[in-house]
Amino acid sequence: MKRRELLKMSAAAGGLVAMPAVLRAASAVELTVVHGSPNKHVISAGGVEPWMNKLKDLVGDAVSYNYFPAGQLSNLKGLMNAVQTGVADAVPVPIGYVSDKMPLNGVSTLPGLGSSARTNIDTYAAAIQTPELMGEFDENGIVPIWNMAYPPYQLFSSKGAVRSLAEFEGRVIRSAGGSMNLAIESLGAAPAEISASDIYVAMERGTVNATLSAFSSVKGYGVQELCDAASTNGSFGTFTNVFSIRQEKWDTIPAEIQDAIMEAGKFTEQHVGDLMDSDTETLGQEFSELGMDLYEFPPEEQEKINGALESVHDSWVERLAGRGLPAEAALEKYRKAAKQA
């Protein structure tokens, strides 16, 4: 049963706290949950663990977990393989790292399509229901439960502030890959594809001198220790994760518990979105007190930067359409969802 059908069932059910005790006792579901982020990272502390706790609140002992956080069983780039091969039942799939398997879902990372974590999450939650994006989950044998999209990415630098479009020239900026490469290139800089868990070492060694990221993620990997400047009004795209369960496992889970899983997912999207938006302000203050220069691009330079980034949408569509994929339809529907978020 697909996610769109389950959401309708969940809405019709209204609440799941009143699940019969007989079901709780008789329908035990064991889930192996795996992720590759540090324990204090927002993906773990703000997303995966609140979802696990909420599901427990809803169904009690009807669900139990084998929990392997922080790369114990898989690093970030291996999470899709881990869930597909049965090493894990549930993982937060990092969309930017699976562009070979889910290229159309990369639309969720494009610049200029959201103003906050909540709007980015709400937009992606709606867009996932479209056949273009849902089809990629079906093809990969996974069921999307909830998504986590960061606030618009900012530029964090270890070599001083970049206050104009011209100053991007010659910069080597860490990229998660995919559309982020296009964004960095459109600004005249050079992208270096590096996993989030390796940013600290890459910046410390001078392999890169800047990264596009969110305040919550920078804090999660301790990268603020190496940065001396960060923008606050940029819109350089984002990074998305979709917590997903392997279809074969999903099909063994009783319908009532499937409903509870989705209910916990909706809770988690709201929770982690609000948390990250709040973190942007509080962490900004914390970083400033550490001596980091937090700055805004001047209006005339912001206009130039945003103008350069507009070409990323066209480049993304052209690249995927050349592979025979319905990229234009995916982008059009995503834009529509963004306007309604």
Which is more confident, 162 or 10?
162
- Identify the CATH class of 3-102+116-149+240-278: alpha beta
CATH number of 154-237+282-340: 3.40.190.170
Spatial CB neighbours of 145, under 8 Å, sequence gap ≥ 6: 3, 51, 90, 242, 243, 244, 245, 261, 262, 264, 265
E-strand ranges in 207-270 read: 210-213, 229-231, 240-246
Can you tell me which residue has the tokens 């942007």?
A: 280
Lowest mean pLDDT among 21-35, 73-87, 174-188, 238-252: 21-35
Question: How far is Cα 190 from Cα 171, in angstroms, rounded to an integer?
Answer: 6
Share above pLDDT 70 across residues of the chain, in percent, rounded to a whole number: 92
pTM exceeds 0.85, yes or no: yes
pLDDT score of 312 = 98
Tokens of 202: 């890459």
Give the start-to-end residue ranges of the domains of the chain. 3-102+116-149+240-278, 154-237+282-340
Tokens of 94: 């990092």
pLDDT score of 275 = 98
Chain segment 298-328, per-residue pLDDT in tens: 999 999 999 999 999 999 999 999 999 999 9
**Dihedral sign, CA of 263, 267, 270, 275?**
negative
Q: How far is CA 316 from the centre of its chain?
A: 18
Q: Do domains 3-102+116-149+240-278 and 154-237+282-340 have the same CATH topology?
A: yes
| Residue 19 pLDDT class (50, 70, 90 cuts) | low
Spatial CB neighbours of 307, under 8 Å, sequence gap ≥ 6: none
Chain segment 61-103, per-residue pLDDT in tens: 999 999 999 999 999 999 999 999 999 999 999 999 999 999 9
DSSP string of 154-207, one letter each residue:
EEEESS----SSGGGTT-EEEE-STHHHHHHHHTT-EEEE--GGGHHHHHHHTS
Closest CA to 166 of 298, 301, 294: 301
